[in-house]
Chains A and B, each alone.
Chain A
Amino acid sequence: MPDRLRARIAWFAGALGILILGSGLLLDSVTQWRLHLLAGLWLISLPARRLIGQRGATAHRSLRGLMLMAVLGFSAIGLQLARNQVTRSEATLRAVAALAQPVATEQPQPVFPETDPAERTSLGSGRTFPVVINAGARGRILDRNGVVLAETIDGRRTNPALGHLIGFQSRLYGTTGLEARFDAQLSGVATLSPTAILEARLLGSSVEQFPADLTLTLDTRLQEAAQQALGERAGAVVLLDVPTGAILAMVTYPRFDPNQLVLPEPATQADVDRVQAAWAELNARSDAPLLNRATQGRYPPGSVIKTLTAAAALDSGTLADPLAPVTCPNLLPTEAGAPPVRNAVDNLFRRTGDPSDLVRVYAFSCNTAFAQIGLSLGADRFLEYARRFGLQTADTRSGPPDLRDIPAEVGTIANEASFLQRPAALADTAFGQGQALVTPLDMAQLAASIANEGRLMRPYLVAEARAGERVIYQAQPETLRQVVSPETSQRMLSIMRTSVEIGYAQPIALPGVSIGAKTGTAETPRGIPHSWIIAVAPVEQPRYAIAVIVEYGGEGSRSALPVARQVLATALGVTP
C-alpha cells in the first residue's frame, strides 16, 4: 500500500476518533461512554504514531510510544473528569455551594417538588378512611306469625332446635344456613348504599346500617308439632303450603345446638378448645347430626315413587284413566337372568282384584302392577316425567336445587340415564327400587305439585327481610313448571284419597277431613326398611303437602304415617 494512502487512512481514523469521543460525551450509559473513549483514543493514536515516526533505535521508538500512551492516558482521565463535571454538575454545584456557604448563618430554602398542574393525574393527599361496618349487630329471625325464632343475646343466637335451618356464625367454621344465605340482610349490608360507602371512605363520614329481620314461612306451631311427632327418631318432616311452595315446617333429627360452635368475643384458649371439641364430636358421630335430612338426606323412595309412575302413566295417556284394567300378579318376569318383580305380600290380587285398576293397585301398593306400568311408559317417558318432578340422573345432574334459601341436594331417579333402558331396572325403579335417591323435600314437592293442579312451585323458607319499615327482600311464589295437567292432578288426588279410604294409608284418616296419601317402605342394606309417607289435605282444596321419613322405621304405615297424621291434624285444627 502506498505510504500516501496509509497516511490518509491514519488521518481519517484520527478524525473519526475525535468524532467518536465527542459523541460519547453525550451518552448517558457509562459503559457505552467507556467504549467510545477507548475506541476514540485508539483511532487518534494512529495519526499520532505516524507523527512521532517509526524510525530510529528501538529504545527511542519505545520511549516515544510510552510518551504517546501517557498523553493518551492523561487525555482519557481529562475527558472522564470533564464528562463527570457535566453529568454531575448539579451535585458539583451543591458541593461547591456548601463549601462557599458559611455554616449555620443562612439556611437553604426548603424544596417542595412541584409538577405542572396540567400534568397532574391525581390531586390531593389521596387519603381514604376505613369504613367500619358493625358486624356485631344482627337482625332477628321470626316465624310467619312474628314469633321470634332467633335473636342475638350476648352474642349468641337463641333457639338451638332450628340449627339446621338458621345455621351458625362461627369464627372457626364459617357461616352456614340462613345466617350465610341472608347474611347481607341480617347484618344490614344489604341496606347500605354503595355511594354512601364511597362517601364515607372519601370524607370519613359514618354509614348508616340497618340490620334486617327475616320473616320465615315456618309456623312455630306446626314446627313444634312436627318436632314432637318425630320425637327422637332419625328422620325428617317437610310440610309445604301447596299453593305457594312455602315451607311451613321442616324438622330433622338428630339436631345440634349451633351455639356450641360460636366463640364468645373475646375468646380464651379454653373457649377455642371447647368449640373445637364440640365440632370434632359432631363430625365424629355416626348419626350425622350436622346433616339436614329434610333437604340433604338422600334416601331410596320406596313405594311413594308410585305416585310419580301413576301420574306419568295418566298424564302421558299410557293409562287412559284410573279405572283402566291393570293386573297385580304375584311375580312379574322382566328380563332373562333378572329376578322377577315380587309384591311385598303374596296374593295381593285378592285385595286389589284381578283384573284390577290403577286406583286399587296404588291403594295396596302392588309392585308388579307398577312394574308393568313403568315398562309400558318406557324408559324415555318415565325419565322425562321424573325430570319434570325435579329428579335427575346423577350423570346429567345440572343446575342448583329448587330450594335456594338453605343448602339442599337434588334427588336422582337413577345414577345414569342408560340404567333405565334395562327392562328390569325400569320395572324396579317404577315401583320404588332401583337406584333412585330422593330427599324428603323432593317427595313433599311431588305431593304438592300433584295437589297444586300439576304445578311445581319453588320451595322457600324466607318470606321477607325487613329493616324497620323498609322491605328489602320479598319472596314471591314461583311456578317452576307444569309437571302434569290439572286433569291428571285431579285424578291423582282422587287415587290418593282412595288409598286413604281403602288402602294401606287408611290409618292417616282424620275426622271430617279428606286426605290423600301414599305410604312407602324403602329397603335398606341393614334389613330394616325406611318408613315413608307423602300426603295432601284437604283433597277438595289442597292446602298442605307433607313428606315424612323415619329411618329404619319399618313399614310406611307403622312409623312415618302417625307423624304425618299428627302434623296434619295440628295444621287442619282437627283432633285426631
Chain B
Amino acid sequence: MKRSVVGQTWRCTAFTILAIFLTACSEPLVEPRAPRTPTAVIDRYNAIVATAEAGEDLLARARAYYDRGNIWFDQQNYTEAIADYNRALALDPSMSRAFHNRGLAYAMLKEYDAALRDYALAIHLDPDYRRAYENRVRLLEELTVSRPDETLLQQLADDYGSLARLIPTAEAPYRYRQGLILARLGDRTAAREAFDAAIRAQPHHVDALYERALLHYASGDLDAALADLDAALRLSPRAANAYYVRGLIRRAQGDARSAIADFGQALLLQPAYPEALIARAATYAEQGNMTAARADLQRLDDLQLDPTLQQAREALRLRIGGSG
C-alpha cells in the first residue's frame, strides 16, 4: 500500500516536471529574424580598423570604418554607426552604400531630413541602387501620411517609377502606386500613363483599371471610364464601389435606370454604403419617385456619416423634402 502511494507520488511528480518542460518548449525554436551580431564581434572590427589606420591605403581604411559602422548598425547603436560612416565617407566620398546606410541610421533616429539627404546622395552616386530607392520609398510613404508635402509626394512617385524600372517583375504594383500618387498630386495625364503601364504589365490589375476609370471620369471621358469599370467588374464582380462609380457615370450619361440598378447592386453587396444610398435617392428623386427616395433617405439616418456625407444628406433632404 505504502509502496503504491510512493509510486503514484513519484509518477505525478515526473509528469509535472514533464509538463513544465514541455511548456518551456512551446516557444518557437526557430526565429524568423537573424540573430543580432554579438557584442564581442565589435572588438574584432576595432582591431581591423586599428590595422587599417596603421596602413597607408585610405580606401581600405574607409572600408574598415564602413564595416564597423555596419556592425554598430546591426547592434542598433545608430549614433556610433553614423560616426563610422562619416569617417568612411570622409576618406571615400564615392561610397554610395555608406551614404545609404547612414541614411538608414538617420531614419532609425527619426532624423528624416538627414536620411532623405543621404538616400539622395547614394542614388546620385548609383542611379540603379535599388535598396536605396526601396528604403527611401518606405520612409516617404511614412512621412507623406502626416506631411502631404508636394515635393515629397513627387519624390515618392518618381521612386515608384524607378523601382518599376529596376524590378520588372514588380512593375505593375509600382506603376499603380505611382499612378495613385500622381493622381493625388493632380497630374492626371502622368497618373493615367502610370496606370496604363500597370495595366500593360498586368492586364488583370483591377485596381489600376478602377483608378484609371476615375481619371477618365474626372476628365469627362465617360465612355472610357465605363469601359475600364466594365473590365474591372468582369474580373471583380463583387466590388461594390465599382458598381457605385459606374452608377454615377451612367447617371451623368442620363441613363437613370441603369444607374439605379448599379447603385442597387452596390447596396446588395454592401448594404451600409451611404454614398450609394445618397446617389440612388437623388436619382430616384430626379425620376420623380419620391417614395423610394425618402425610403433611402430614411436608411441613411441609421448610418454614421462623415461631414461631407452629412452635407450630401442635407442637400438631398432639402431636395426631396424629407423631415429632419
On A, residues with C-beta under 8 Å from B are: 30, 34, 37-38, 41-42, 65, 69, 72-73, 76-77, 80-81, 84-85, 88, 91-92, 94-95, 98-99, 104, 107, 109-110, 112, 117-128, 130-131, 133, 184, 189-190, 192-195, 197-199, 201-205
Nearest B residue (CB) for A203: B218
| Chain B residues with CB under 8 A of A123 | 206-207, 209-210, 232, 236, 239, 241-242
One of B26-34, B50-58, B112-120 at the interface: B26-34
A34 interface neighbour in B14, B19, B207, B314, Cβ under 8 Å: B19
CA distance A104 to B278 in the complex (A): 54
| Chain B residues with CB under 8 A of A193 | 282, 315, 319
| Chain A residues with CB under 8 A of B314 | 184, 189
CA distance A133 to B315 in the complex (A): 12
B315 interface neighbour in A95, A127, A189, Cβ under 8 Å: A189
CA distance A94 to B32 in the complex (A): 6
Q: A202 to B214, Cβ gap below 8 A?
A: yes
For chain B, residues 46 to 100, give those with C-beta under 8 angstroms from any C-beta of chain A: 97
B171 CB to nearest A CB, Å: 11
B28 interface neighbour in A88, A128, A131, Cβ under 8 Å: A88
A103 CB to nearest B CB, Å: 9
Q: B311 to A190, Cβ gap below 8 A?
A: no
| Chain A residues with CB under 8 A of B163 | 110
| Chain B residues with CB under 8 A of A198 | 248, 275, 278-279, 312
| Chain B residues with CB under 8 A of A110 | 134, 163, 167, 170, 173
The verdict on B260 contacting chain A, using a C-beta distance below 8 Å, is: no
**Other 17 A-B pairs with CB < 8 A, given A37-B22, A197-B308:** A38-B22, A41-B18, A84-B29, A85-B30, A88-B30, A94-B32, A110-B173, A117-B206, A118-B236, A120-B206, A184-B314, A193-B315, A195-B282, A195-B283, A197-B312, A201-B309, A202-B245
Q: A117 to B214, Cβ gap below 8 A?
A: no
Q: A107 to B131, Cβ gap below 8 A?
A: yes
For chain B, residues 175 to 222, give those with C-beta under 8 angstroms from any C-beta of chain A: 180, 184, 186, 204, 206-207, 209-211, 214, 217-218
B290-324 vs A, Cβ < 8 Å mask (1 yes, 0 no): 00000000000000000011011111101100000
CA distance A94 to B34 in the complex (A): 10
| Chain A residues with CB under 8 A of B217 | 202-203
CA distance A116 to B214 in the complex (A): 22
| Chain B residues with CB under 8 A of A94 | 32
Q: A91 to B30, Cβ gap below 8 A?
A: yes
CA distance A195 to B282 in the complex (A): 7
B122 CB to nearest A CB, Å: 14
| Chain B residues with CB under 8 A of A38 | 15, 18-19, 22
A121 touching B238 in the complex, CB below 8 Å, given contacts A76-B21, A112-B173, A204-B218: yes
Q: A120 to B15, Cβ gap below 8 A?
A: no
Q: B239 to A120, Cβ gap below 8 A?
A: yes
The A contact surface, by secondary structure, is helix
The verdict on B165 contacting chain A, using a C-beta distance below 8 Å, is: no
Among A69, A118, A190, A194, chain B packs the most CB atoms within 10 A around the CB of: A194
B21 interface neighbour in A73, A128, A192, A195, Cβ under 8 Å: A73
CA distance A88 to B191 in the complex (A): 41
| Chain B residues with CB under 8 A of A30 | 26
B204 interface neighbour in A112, A117, A128, A199, Cβ under 8 Å: A117
| Chain B residues with CB under 8 A of A76 | 18, 21-22
CA distance A198 to B74 in the complex (A): 50
Nearest A residue (CB) for B34: A98
| Chain B residues with CB under 8 A of A34 | 19, 22-23, 26
* 17 A-B pairs in the complex with CB atoms less than 8 angstroms apart: A34-B22, A37-B22, A73-B18, A77-B22, A77-B25, A80-B25, A84-B28, A110-B173, A117-B236, A121-B239, A122-B239, A122-B240, A123-B241, A125-B180, A195-B251, A201-B308, A202-B275
Q: Interface size for chain B: under 10, 10 to 19, 20 to 34, or 35 or more residues?
A: 35 or more
Q: B207 to A118, Cβ gap below 8 A?
A: no
| Chain B residues with CB under 8 A of A73 | 18, 21
A296 CB to nearest B CB, Å: 23
CA distance A189 to B319 in the complex (A): 11
B170 CB to nearest A CB, Å: 5
| Chain A residues with CB under 8 A of B15 | 38, 42
A81 touching B29 in the complex, CB below 8 Å, given contacts A123-B242, A133-B311, A190-B318: yes
CA distance A259 to B180 in the complex (A): 47
Among A95, A195, A202, chain B packs the most CB atoms within 10 A around the CB of: A195
B131-146 vs A, Cβ < 8 Å mask (1 yes, 0 no): 1001000000000000
Q: A124 to B211, Cβ gap below 8 A?
A: yes
A483 CB to nearest B CB, Å: 27
| Chain A residues with CB under 8 A of B316 | 194
| Chain A residues with CB under 8 A of B25 | 77, 80-81
CA distance A199 to B311 in the complex (A): 13
A160 CB to nearest B CB, Å: 29
Q: A130 to B315, Cβ gap below 8 A?
A: no
| Chain A residues with CB under 8 A of B232 | 123
The verdict on B39 contacting chain A, using a C-beta distance below 8 Å, is: no
Q: B236 to A192, Cβ gap below 8 A?
A: no
| Chain B residues with CB under 8 A of A121 | 238-240, 269-270
| Chain B residues with CB under 8 A of A81 | 25, 29
CA distance A247 to B34 in the complex (A): 84
B308 interface neighbour in A107, A120, A131, Cβ under 8 Å: A131
CA distance A395 to B131 in the complex (A): 79
Q: Nearest 7 A-B pairs (CB), nearest first?
A: A123-B210, A91-B32, A197-B312, A194-B316, A117-B235, A120-B236, A124-B210
B150 CB to nearest A CB, Å: 15
The verdict on B9 contacting chain A, using a C-beta distance below 8 Å, is: no
CA distance A73 to B21 in the complex (A): 9
CA distance A518 to B307 in the complex (A): 53
CA distance A344 to B61 in the complex (A): 118
Q: B248 to A202, Cβ gap below 8 A?
A: yes
The verdict on B237 contacting chain A, using a C-beta distance below 8 Å, is: yes
| Chain A residues with CB under 8 A of B23 | 34
| Chain A residues with CB under 8 A of B312 | 192, 194, 197-198, 201
CA distance A104 to B66 in the complex (A): 14
